């Protein structure tokens, strides 16, 4: 790469502070869930799951097809199901607000909409393989895959929701159950990664039409024609035990997962005082991150009611370490608590309720980053109806699950440390080397230029020490159709 006199921005300001990766974006399953029944129970599904979504919630549950409900909790006297098919749809949206010194600003997270597709196979019945079941579940967004937006790290953004819903999520799994008292399962999380060649153009705020008004510059990024897809795998392991009738205990380990977009980016037309500059660099952006999780659950279920509790320990701190040099705070590990229950109001129909409390892993934002995230109080309700039993026909088994979920994000506020931010920019600019046309270092930035750049970088409302507050709601609704043969 050949550098002009003013390509110091590559080492300092633009490459670090403009098109910088936004970490910790969650996918649809981490935000809402991956089946209507599981969502309606507040996510307290680790020890109750018995449909194809077990491939995500707990692979050990694949041996518990929903056909058993016709014969009671043990399913005694029933012929085993050969396979189960799930078809569902999920929609999620938000109503979010943010304020700077009490002044309302626009802001929000993208809408999520997609299909959920699952399949489970009883290998003992179909192929004679004893005690074994296979299954998979997938989420496919209705819109597009890999529609990403690069923004300045200083722009406010809902960190766990920004462009994280565009990913295909695929979970294949296998379960082995040598007795009715225990089942073990292992599964994979499959994600697509992409290699792209992009082009980007920069403008100052006066020429921008869409970015937030407090941003002093904005970027427009076009995806190049050369796109290569790759794959990434992580694993999950689950166990489900029934020490006594009606009581189930479960544990799940989910390995952390991330999805990268890597490749080459060419930045052009960057205004810098009286000059326009261009440069090229290799990029590595993270568009999706799921923490390593240790999850434990217990449930009680009989022919009239059920109740479940789940607790998970989430290791968020593994991912953000690489960005400490940019004054980005390390995410904090969290514990999520979930509770759910149901009452059978008819032999065919169960009403479901759930609640979860999920603390935010994002600490106070006192430096340049503005990762918006709040604690979440999650309320959910739904129903599970066996249509075949309701209308009295024998086969196939047809189940219909509905859910509605409301996530309340209480207000959170931060105040920037303006002097620490200025000192951060001074230190970075002091280490910048000025290069000649041949790429040789010819000196450092003079104090006057450093001072002008510090003023420019910090001339934003969010970096001058104003109080920054935000809050909002997330909501989701959907349905899943179960077919059991």
Q: What pLDDT score does 137 carry? A: 95
Q: What pLDDT score does 313 carry? A: 97
Q: What pLDDT score does 56 carry? A: 94
Instruction: Specify whether the CB–CB gap between 299 and 47 falls below 8 A.
Output: yes
Nearest CA to 250 out of 236, 240, 258, 263 is that of 240
H helix or E strand, kind and range, residue 390: helix 387-391
Q: What pLDDT score does 395 carry? A: 72
Q: What pLDDT score does 27 carry? A: 73
HSE, side-chain direction, 13 A CA sphere, residue 421: 27
H helix or E strand, kind and range, residue 126: helix 123-127
State how beta strands 157-158 and 182-204 pair.
unpaired
Q: What pLDDT score does 74 carry? A: 38
* Eight-class DSSP state of 41: T
Q: What pLDDT score does 248 carry? A: 94
Q: What pLDDT score does 57 carry? A: 96
Q: Domain residue spans in the chain? A: 8-484
The rounded distance, in Å, linking the Cα atoms of 213 and 131 is 61
CATH of 8-484, one of 2.40.160.60, 1.20.1250.20, 3.40.50.2000, 3.40.50.720: 2.40.160.60
Start-to-end Cα distance in the chain: 61
Q: What pLDDT score does 444 carry? A: 73
Question: 300: how many CB neighbours lie within 10 A of its CB?
Answer: 16
Cα angle at 62 between 483 and 118, to 5 degrees?
45
Question: 324: how many CB neighbours lie within 10 A of its CB?
Answer: 10
H helix or E strand, kind and range, residue 457: helix 447-458
Q: What pLDDT score does 378 carry? A: 97
CA distance readout (Å), 390 to 9, 231, 385: 68, 44, 8
pTM of the model: 0.81
Mean pLDDT per 10-residue interval, the chain, length 485 residues = 35 39 64 92 94 94 55 38 87 82 64 90 87 92 65 68 72 90 92 68 52 48 63 89 92 86 66 62 67 95 94 84 54 94 94 96 81 92 92 83 96 83 78 64 74 73 71 92 89
CA distance readout (Å), 297 to 58, 378, 436: 10, 18, 62
């Amino acid at each position: 790469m050949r550098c002009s006199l003013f390509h110091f921005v590559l080492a300092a300001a633009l490459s670090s502070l403009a098109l910088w990766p936004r970490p910790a974006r969650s996918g649809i399953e981490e935000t809402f869930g991956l089946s209507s029944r599981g969502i309606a129970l507040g996510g307290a599904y680790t020890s109750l799951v018995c449909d194809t979504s077990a491939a995500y919630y707990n692979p050990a549950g694949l041996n518990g097809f929903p056909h058993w409900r016709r014969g009671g909790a043990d399913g005694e006297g029933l012929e085993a199901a050969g396979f189960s098919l799930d078809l569902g749809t999920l929609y999620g949206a938000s109503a979010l607000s943010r304020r700077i010194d009490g002044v309302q600003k626009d802001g929000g997270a993208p809408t999520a909409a997609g299909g959920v597709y699952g399949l489970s196979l009883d290998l003992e019945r179909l192929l004679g393989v004893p005690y074994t079941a296979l299954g998979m579940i997938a989420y496919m967004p209705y819109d597009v895959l890999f529609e990403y937006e690069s923004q300045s790290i200083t722009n406010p953004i809902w960190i766990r929701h920004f462009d994280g819903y565009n990913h295909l999520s695929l979970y294949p799994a296998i379960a082995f159950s040598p007795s009715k008292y225990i089942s073990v399962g292992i599964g994979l999380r499959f994600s697509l990664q992409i290699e792209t060649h992009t082009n980007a153009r920069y403008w100052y705020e006066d020429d921008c039409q869409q970015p937030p008004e407090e941003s002093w510059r904005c970027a427009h990024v076009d995806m190049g024609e050369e796109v290569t897809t790759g794959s990434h795998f992580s694993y999950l392991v689950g166990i489900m035990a029934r020490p006594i009738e009606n009581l189930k205990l479960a544990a799940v380990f989910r390995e952390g997962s991330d999805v990268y977009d890597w490749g080459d980016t060419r930045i052009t037309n960057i205004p810098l005082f009286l000059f326009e500059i261009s440069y090229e660099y290799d990029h590595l952006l993270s568009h999706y991150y799921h923490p390593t999780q240790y999850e434990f659950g217990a449930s009680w279920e009989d022919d009239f009611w059920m109740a479940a509790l789940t607790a998970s320990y989430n290791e968020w701190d593994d991912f953000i370490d690489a960005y400490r040099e940019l004054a980005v705070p390390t995410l904090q590990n969290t514990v999520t608590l979930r509770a759910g229950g149901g009452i059978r109001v008819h032999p065919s129909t169960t009403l479901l309720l759930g609640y979860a409390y999920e603390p935010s892993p994002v600490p106070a934002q006192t430096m340049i980053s503005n990762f918006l995230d709040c604690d979440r109080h999650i309320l959910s309700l739904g129903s599970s109806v066996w249509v075949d039993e309701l209308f009295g026909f024998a086969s196939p088994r047809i189940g219909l699950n509905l859910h509605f979920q409301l996530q309340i994000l209480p207000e959170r506020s931060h105040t920037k440390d303006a002097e620490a931010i200025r000192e951060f920019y001074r230190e970075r600019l002091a280490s910048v080397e000025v290069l000649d046309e041949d790429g040789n270092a010819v000196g450092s930035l003079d104090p006057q230029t450093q001072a002008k750049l510090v003023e420019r970088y910090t001339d934003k409302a969010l970096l001058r020490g104003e109080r920054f507050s935000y809050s909002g709601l997330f909501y989701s609704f959907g349905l899943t159709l179960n077919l059991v043969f």
